[in-house]
Every structure is written in structure tokens, then in C-alpha cells.
């Protein structure tokens, strides 16, 4: 029976990145999960902190040709409500960066990760499904559908919203749903995007264009479920024109690529993010709507934390309380990010006039107040930085008065 330091269940982006990082730290790792039946047509905007981590893992040079930088993010209130906010522009140069991050197509990014996995001698990739779990205090025992049984010091659940690892660990979840469906696709356009992402806020949710290399962009169009079903039925030329009209023709003529995909929107957070020898990362731990490029960036912070917590291999057994320590380390970040995305999404859906007024006032302040906008941008790129900046500012004022 094979024994591993760490077994990771789920071979998507979060699980694959965790496997590569841990194997490069000398741990013997098994990554278990079947290949996706349908290629993921979505893209992911990775922010500066995540890009720096990809560079640490020697993955960036190979990935960068697939990407487009995000030098600016523009928010346009495209609702028809009485109280509307002015456009807000966030520029990376305001916080001393060339770009907030880069937009990466998920499917080719995963192919790059799979190639790197194959080159790591301490990483075993099993394209199978885990079927049984015995999460004992002494070690973890896992049955695989190819007939093997393996053991490990730790197990990481990176197996999505319906995580079998989470269920086996007895960790419950809090779930909620939205009356929304996200339609995702890529499209070509006549005019250059100039590396600017534009997010139109509508009564049904955000309509977000994100740059890809060349005169191409990805789209996340959040709609009411019935409207999303109708959108998926449109002929390519009709859909292209609908997207151009919704974008107010700011990128000229639009031509859609491939077949659009759709995803019902809901939210989920685990009651715990780790327990005993178990840790949860990615959508096994948290899930929310695709707003503000928070999803995979939050998942990568899960990965960064667990890699730091486990450390480099010493040849000894990994502690039985690793999951409990991981839970305490990740709680504030996950809960605060989930709450902020949920609040922003519900503010778009709300027909309650005071809520609309608060949202409009907030965006107006961001539009006119440079320091406040800068704090928000830093917080989005490096979580916790806004609080540190405020503390530093207060200390400077106090020390100035005392002098």
C-alpha cells in the first residue's frame, strides 16, 4: 500500500497548483481526479499577488503568452434606476503597478499545469476518482476506483462545491442561491480594448468584458435564468449584435467565438476550512458569483497558506492538527471576501431605494476621492493592505502631533 505525505482530491486549477507547490517543497504528493469531460470555456483574472506566486512556482513564463494585462478597470452603472452612479475608473498606475493582473483562459492554463505535474518526481497524478475515505487520527486512508488503496498524513479537498472530502470530514456548509445565471464566452471585436476591463452594472447583475490577447475579450454576462436560456439559443450573429449593443459599441463590431456556456449562480461557505488531517481549498471551501475577480485569487491564497503551513519536507510525519490550524489561518480572509461579494451582488439586485442610494453614493465617492479609491485597489490586490495603510497613516499623524 502506497503512503504519501499529502493526497489532493480534485485536479482543477486549485488542486493542480497546490500539488505542484507541495511537490516542489519535497513532499510526496498524490493528485487524484478524472480529466474534465468538457473543456472549461471560462477565463480567470489573476491579480498581482497571484501572478507573483506563479512566478515563484516557475509557471509564469510559459503562461504569459496566453494572457492579457488589466491596466484599468472601468465600472459603468447601466441600470435604468432613478439613482445611478457615475462611471468609476481604477488604474493600476495609481497604485504603482503596470497592471492589476492578467486574464488567463482556464483550459490552456490547466494544460500547462498538467505538463509541469508530469515532470515532478515526487508527484503521482492519478486520473481516477476517490471513492472511500477513512479520516482517522493516525493517518488518512483513501480508496480509488481503479482498485488501489492509499494512505497519507494529510488530505486536501479541492474537489468543488459537492466535495466528497468535506462530506467525509463531517464539515457542513452554508449555502444560498441567486436568481441569476452567468453566460460565459469569448469574442473578437473591431476596436482595441487597450487592456481595459469594463463592467456594466445592470439590474440583473454585471456584464463584464475582460481583455484577452489581440482584439479579443472574454465575457461574463449575468442574467435572469430565463433570459440566459434565451441568450444561449441565439444564432451567433444575433448574439454578437446583442453583445455589441449591451456594450454600447465601445469596442465596435463584435464576433462571438465557439459555443457559450452557462452557470447558475449560488454561494457556499464551509463551516470549517480544515479539521484534523483535512484541509479544504477552492470551491470545496467557498464559492460565490464571478464579481471583482475574487474566486481563484482567493483559492490561491488558500494554497499559499497551506504550503506555508506545511513547509518543506523534513522526512517526518505531518501533524494531525494541521487542518485545525489551517482553518484559523484562513477564516477571516474567506469570510470577509465572501460577505463583500455577496453584498455587492445583492445591492445590484435590490429594488429598495435606500440600498440603491447607498450604492450610488459609494461609487460616487470612489469616482471623486483618489485616496479612497487607492485604498480599495490595494485591498483588492493585497488583502489586509488597506488596514495596514490606515494604521500606518494614524501612526504618522500621532507621531507628528507628539513631535
Is the Cβ–Cβ distance between 153 and 318 less than 8 Å? yes
- pLDDT at position 213 is 95
Residues 6+ apart with CB under 8 A from 204: 180, 222, 223, 224, 227, 348, 349
Is the Cβ–Cβ distance between 8 and 29 less than 8 Å? yes
Q: Does residue 300 surpass a pLDDT of 80?
A: yes
Residues 6+ apart with CB under 8 A from 8: 15, 18, 19, 22, 29, 30, 31, 32, 155, 156, 158
Mean pLDDT of 153-159: 97
CA-nearest of 24, 28, 40 to 111 is 40
How many whole angstroms separate alpha carbon 7 and alpha carbon 28? 9
Cell of 247: 456594450
- pLDDT at position 346 is 67
Give the count of beta carbons closer than 10 Å to the beta carbon of residue 137: 9
Sign of CA dihedral 52, 54, 60, 65: negative
C-alpha 278: how far from its chain's center? Answer: 21
How many whole angstroms separate alpha carbon 112 and alpha carbon 132? 30
Q: Hey, which bits of 281-351 come out as E strands?
A: 286-287
- pLDDT at position 272 is 97
Percent of the chain with pLDDT over 90: 63
Is the Cβ–Cβ distance between 378 and 386 less than 8 Å? yes
Query: How does residue 260 score in pLDDT terms, banded at 50, 70 and 90?
Result: very high
Is the Cβ–Cβ distance between 219 and 187 less than 8 Å? yes
Q: Hey, which bits of 203-341 come out as E strands?
A: 205-212, 216-223, 254-270, 274-275, 278-280, 286-287
Mean pLDDT of 104-117: 94
In tens, the pLDDT along 356-393 reads 444 444 554 444 444 444 445 455 555 555 444 444 44
Phi/psi for 28 (5° steps) reads: -85, 120
Distances (CA, A) of 182 to 17, 86, 231, 369: 25, 25, 11, 32
Q: Which of 12-26, 89-103, 134-148, 173-187 has the lowest mean pLDDT?
A: 89-103
- pLDDT at position 159 is 96
Give the count of beta carbons closer than 10 Å to the beta carbon of residue 382: 16
Query: How does residue 28 score in pLDDT terms, banded at 50, 70 and 90?
Result: very high
Distances (CA, A) of 68 to 53, 196, 198: 17, 10, 14
**What structural domains and CATH numbers belong to the chain?**
3-61+104-175+267-345 (3.50.50.60), 69-102+178-265 (3.30.9.10), 353-402 (no CATH)
Q: Which helix (H) or strand (E) holds 5?
A: strand 3-9
How many whole angstroms separate alpha carbon 170 and alpha carbon 273? 11
- pLDDT at position 81 is 60
Cell of 90: 481604477
Helix axes 13-24, 295-310, angle to 10 degrees: 20
Amino acid at each position: 500500500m502506497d503512503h504519501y505525505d499529502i493526497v489532493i482530491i480534485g485536479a482543477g486549477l486549485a488542486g493542480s497548483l497546490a500539488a505542484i507547490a507541495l511537490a516542489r517543497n519535497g513532499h510526496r504528493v498524490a493528485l487524484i481526479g478524472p480529466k474534465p469531460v468538457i473543456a472549461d470555456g471560462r477565463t480567470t483574472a489573476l491579480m498581482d499577488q497571484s501572478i507573483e506566486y506563479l512566478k515563484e512556482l516557475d509557471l509564469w513564463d510559459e503562461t504569459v503568452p496566453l494572457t492579457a494585462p488589466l491596466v484599468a478597470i472601468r465600472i459603468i452603472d447601466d441600470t435604468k434606476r432613478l439613482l445611478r452612479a457615475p462611471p468609476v475608473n481604477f488604474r493600476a498606475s495609481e497604485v504603482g503597478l503596470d497592471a492589476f493582473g492578467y486574464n488567463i483562459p482556464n483550459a490552456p492554463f490547466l494544460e500547462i499545469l498538467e505538463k509541469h505535474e508530469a515532470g515532478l518526481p515526487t508527484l503521482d497524478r492519478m486520473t481516477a476518482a476517490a471513492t472511500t475515505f477513512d479520516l482517522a487520527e493516525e493517518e488518512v486512508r483513501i480508496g480509488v476506483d481503479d482498485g488501489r488503496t492509499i494512505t497519507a498524513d494529510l488530505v486536501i479537498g479541492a474537489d468543488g462545491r459537492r466535495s466528497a472530502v468535506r462530506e467525509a470530514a463531517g464539515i457542513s456548509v452554508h449555502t444560498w442561491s441567486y436568481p441569476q445565471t452567468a453566460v460565459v464566452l469569448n469574442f473578437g471585436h473591431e476596436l482595441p480594448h487597450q487592456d481595459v476591463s469594463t463592467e456594466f452594472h445592470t439590474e440583473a447583475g454585471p456584464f463584464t468584458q475582460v481583455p484577452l490577447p489581440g482584439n479579443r475579450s472574454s465575457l461574463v454576462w449575468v442574467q435572469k435564468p430565463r433570459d440566459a436560456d434565451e441568450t444561449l439559443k441565439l444564432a451567433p450573429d444575433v448574439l454578437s449584435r446583442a453583445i455589441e449593443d449591451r456594450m454600447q459599441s465601445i469596442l465596435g463590431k463584435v464576433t462571438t467565438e465557439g459555443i457559450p456556456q452557462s452557470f447558475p449562480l449560488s454561494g457556499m461557505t464551509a463551516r470549517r476550512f480544515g479539521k484534523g488531517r483535512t484541509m479544504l481549498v477552492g470551491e470545496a471551501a467557498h464559492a460565490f458569483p464571478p464579481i471583482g475577480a475574487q474566486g481563484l485569487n482567493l483559492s490561491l491564497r488558500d494554497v499559499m497558506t497551506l504550503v506555508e503551513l506545511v513547509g518543506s519536507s523534513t522526512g517526518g510525519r505531518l501533524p494531525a492538527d494541521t487542518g485545525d490550524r489551517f482553518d484559523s489561518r484562513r477564516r477571516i480572509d474567506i469570510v470577509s471576501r465572501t460577505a463583500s461579494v455577496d453584498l455587492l451582488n445583492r445591492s445590484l439586485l435590490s429594488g429598495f431605494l435606500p440600498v440603491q442610494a447607498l450604492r450610488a453614493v459609494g461609487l460616487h465617492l470612489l469616482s471623486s476621492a483618489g485616496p479612497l479609491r487607492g485604498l480599495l485597489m490595494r485591498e483588492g490586490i493585497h488583502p489586509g493592505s488597506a488596514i495596514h495603510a490606515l494604521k500606518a497613516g494614524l501612526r504618522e499623524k500621532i507621531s507628528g502631533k507628539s513631535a
